Structure 1
Amino acid sequence: MRKNTIIIGLLLSVLYACNSVKLPDVKVNAYPLGYSQKIEGDSLIITLDNRLECPVRVVLNDSSLNKRFENKGIVVLEPKEKRRTGVFLERKEYTAGANYMLGNAISYPKDNKLSLPFRKGKQYKIVQGHNGNFSHNEGLSKLALDFDLKVGDTVCAAANGYVVGLVDKYKYYGKNSSWKDYANFITLYHPETGLFTEYVHLKENGAKVAVGDFVKAGQPIALCGMTGWTTTPHLHFVAYFRNTDWKSEPIEIDFAENYKSGSLKPGDVVKK
């Protein structure tokens, strides 16, 4: 009996190994920002190209250079703005490159009213609400909602806005947090309010829009999938803004369909 148990265990291990999926080797760039740098004399010449329809803050990776960079007023690039500037180099060694963040700092959005992110006439259950135990317990996800859309169901824009981030090339999912950064998603910027909305776990090649597109509320933007960190097909949805500390701050949503996001619990059904 013990021998048979060991054999069965080995077979199950082999089957699991054959069916397990490795994390992708490369992360897909969701936010195209043109950046280049070169040394001319005693200066580092930086060329910036914000190709997005939203403001972008640029932060140099070298902290000492960044202080001079910000003193020149190069903190935020406006939508579609291109800029070239020089920063004095006191030393030959420096950390190259830059990071950037979407949005401009605001105290609070002008409005928090959005539509449910799926087709009119459809209804779905809430899988996980605010501050959920599984994955809604930190960062932006603390005020996110998970709707039980199935693979292939249509995801719609929650308000008028621009597509400023898009990934739809991932194929697989995993049941632990190491898969968190490998979900397909779309980010919309809503200039009338200063809000961003994000739609996550989309289907591979399921996007119906492209970065730079203007979309209207209720317009189909993607197909739901099962990618990234998840145990079941669903749409992860969150709204946030860039606060005055330059941090992404999620908000509670006052849905146009007369639901308040903070009151929705797992098992509740919402209809558009």
Structure 2
Amino acid sequence: MRFLFLFSLSFILGCNTLPKDRYNLFTFSPKGNYVKDSTVEISLSNPIYCPLLVTISSEQDSAGLSVQLSEISPIYLPPMLQDTILQLRGDSTNGKSRLLWSISYAHTPDTIQADSFFLPYPYGRTHSIMQSYHGSFSHNNDGARYAIDFALSVGDTVCAAADGYVVGVIEGYEKGGNDSKWMDYANFINLYHPTKNVYTQYVHLKKNGSLVEVGDRVAAGQAIGISGATGWTSKPHLHFNVVRWIEGKRVSVPATFRQKTLISGSDFKRGGRHENLIRTKSF
């Protein structure tokens, strides 16, 4: 998943049955101004509690500017970074070119630890598995290979699987469908877990179904959302995914879960039922 931010944004949808509005996970406001002749001043900041990668390119093939942008991109932005100022000098003979911005989540250099997650629903609740690792319906690509679909009903509570920060929320969509064209129209929450250096995703939430906002700090077991059936889905459920980001691309990773003993995510089989047996310290 990559997010494209232009100075002038427009969204053109090819199917009238899909939502007309599109939403961003968080607000990212880069600035690029020509301050003198062909000198470009770029101001970047990171407003969220996770690392970001920013790639900048020039709309026109301005040799001097394009080369410099390719040399510095992608740019790594640590969490909550205040303004970083860059100055680049382009080729004045080609005029002023509009800048294009592409942004994705990133990681610190630390090792990832995709272990000891809590089940993403309240203590004492039991839910069955709709789709597990390598599921043929939609878990057959790098971005979702180790995701697990829990059969939560519309209105069920979704909980944070570990301590972390809210780094993305989309909750404006209302509908879904059993067709891949709905893939980009799901409501979901992204959390970043600094101690584990991974992200978790909670997908298919109902409209206005987020109980948290970008920037919130959450604790394992805390209620963060309400389950629904938005986006690409055949029936209501929670799509739970532990991911890392490699060169701007989402990569699903296998995880372990806390029950009476640690359970590998590979042990969650389609049709199996799992009660959340562990009460967190806070909830």
- For residues 17-44 of structure 1, the C-alpha deviation after alignment (integer angstroms, 9 at most, x for no partner) is xxx9810112101122121212122212
| 1:26 aligned counterpart, secondary structure | coil
| 1:61 aligned counterpart, secondary structure | strand
User: Does residue 59 of structure 2 align to residue 57 of structure 1?
Assistant: no
Report which of the two has the higher share of helix: 1
> Which range moves more in the overlay, 56-65 or 234-243?
56-65
How far apart, in 2, do the equivalents of 1:21 and 1:218 lie?
Answer: 39
Say whether the 8 Å CA contact 2:131–2:150 is kept in structure 1: yes
Q: Aligned pair in 2 of structure 1 residues 127, 98: CA closer, same or farther (>3 Å)?
A: same
| 2:45 aligned counterpart, secondary structure | strand
**TM-score scaled by length of structure 2:** 0.83
Matched residue type, 1:208: L
Say whether the 8 Å CA contact 1:105–1:242 is kept in structure 2: no
- For residues 156-182 of structure 1, the C-alpha deviation after alignment (integer angstroms, 9 at most, x for no partner) is 000000000000110011110010000
Matched residue type, 2:273: V
Which of 26, 30, 44 in structure 2 is aligned with 1:35? 30
How far apart, in 2, do the equivalents of 1:45 and 1:269 lie?
Answer: 56
How far apart, in 2, do the equivalents of 1:227 and 1:28 lie?
Answer: 14
How far apart, in 2, do the equivalents of 1:123 and 1:240 lie?
Answer: 24
Matched residue type, 2:221: G
How far apart, in 2, do the equivalents of 1:206 and 1:238 lie?
Answer: 18
- For residues 1-60 of structure 1, the C-alpha deviation after alignment (integer angstroms, 9 at most, x for no partner) is xxxxxxxxxxxxxxxxxxx98101121011221212121222122121211111111101
Matched residue type, 2:84: R
> Which range moves more in the overlay, 30-39 or 189-198?
30-39
Shift of 1:193: 1.3
> Which range moves more in the overlay, 64-73 or 245-254?
64-73
Say whether the 8 Å CA contact 2:55–2:73 is kept in structure 1: no
> Which range moves more in the overlay, 42-51 or 222-231?
42-51
Say whether the 8 Å CA contact 2:56–2:73 is kept in structure 1: no
Q: Aligned pair in 2 of structure 1 residues 105, 127: CA closer, same or farther (>3 Å)?
A: same
- Equivalent residue, structure 2, for 1:232: 235
- Equivalent residue, structure 1, for 2:10: none
Shift of 1:104: 2.5
Say whether the 8 Å CA contact 2:57–2:69 is kept in structure 1: no
Which of 94, 97, 102 in structure 2 is aligned with 1:99? 102
Unmatched segments (≥5 aa) in structure 1: 1-19
Unmatched segments (≥5 aa) in structure 2: 1-14, 277-283
| 1:68 aligned counterpart, secondary structure | helix
Shift of 1:146: 0.2
Say whether the 8 Å CA contact 2:108–2:197 is kept in structure 1: no
- Equivalent residue, structure 2, for 1:255: 257
Shift of 1:69: 4.0
Q: Aligned pair in 2 of structure 1 residues 94, 232: CA closer, same or farther (>3 Å)?
A: same
- For residues 65-117 of structure 1, the C-alpha deviation after alignment (integer angstroms, 9 at most, x for no partner) is 46524655872111111212122212326452201111226474034221110
| 2:263 aligned counterpart, secondary structure | coil
How far apart, in 2, do the equivalents of 1:111 and 1:132 lie?
Answer: 20
Matched residue type, 1:80: M
- Equivalent residue, structure 1, for 2:182: 179
User: Does residue 121 of structure 2 align to residue 118 of structure 1?
Assistant: yes
Q: Aligned pair in 2 of structure 1 residues 42, 95: CA closer, same or farther (>3 Å)?
A: closer
- Equivalent residue, structure 2, for 1:25: 20
User: Does residue 272 of structure 2 align to residue 268 of structure 1?
Assistant: yes
Shift of 1:141: 1.2
- Equivalent residue, structure 2, for 1:17: none
Q: Aligned pair in 2 of structure 1 residues 74, 261: CA closer, same or farther (>3 Å)?
A: closer
Shift of 1:263: 2.3
| 1:126 aligned counterpart, secondary structure | strand
